[in-house]
């Protein structure tokens, strides 16, 4: 594997799957270590994005509205 983007992708996959840690990956590719390590650390941070959840009331309201819109459209399509 020689292209930097392939090495980066492989390391991200290995770390994500628990097969490796950042230190192991950069040790495996010493010729690109300097560029690889900071990018891996950023990539790993992005995984820890907080979970934004919609409210139950929004979900219920939006579902009703969606079904109304679908039925309105189906009625128009069937007419006359």
Partner 1 sequence: MYENCCEGRTSDEAVLIQRAIGRDANAFGSLYDMHVDRVYRNIYYRVGNGADAEDLTQQVFLKTWQAIGGYRKTTSPFIAWLMTISHNLVVDFYRTRKDRAYLEAEVLASDAAASPEREAEAGFEQQRLRRAVLQLREDEQQVVIMRFMEGFEYAQIAPLLKKKEGHVRVILHRALVRLRSILEEESGQS
Q: What is the DSSP string of 9-33?
A: HHHHHHHHTTS--HHHHHHH-GGGH
Residues lying near partner 1 in the complex (CB under 8 A):
4-6, 8-9, 12, 16, 38-39, 42-43, 45-54, 58-59, 62-63, 65-67, 69-71, 73-74
- How near is the Cβ of 45 to partner 1 at its closest, in Å? 6
Give residue 1's Cα distance to chain centre. Answer: 24
- How near is the Cβ of 40 to partner 1 at its closest, in Å? 9
- How near is the Cβ of 25 to partner 1 at its closest, in Å? 14
Nearest-5° Cα angle at 18, 14 to 40: 50
């Amino acid at each position: 594997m020689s292209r930097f983007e392939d090495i980066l992708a492989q390391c991200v996959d290995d770390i994500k799957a628990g097969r490796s840690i950042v230190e192991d990956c950069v040790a495996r590719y010493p010729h690109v270590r300097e560029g690889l390590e900071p990018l891996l650390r950023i990539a790993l941070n992005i995984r820890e994005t907080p979970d934004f959840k919609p409210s139950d009331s929004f979900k219920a309201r939006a579902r009703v509205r969606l079904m109304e819109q679908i039925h309105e459209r189906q009625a128009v399509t069937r007419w006359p």
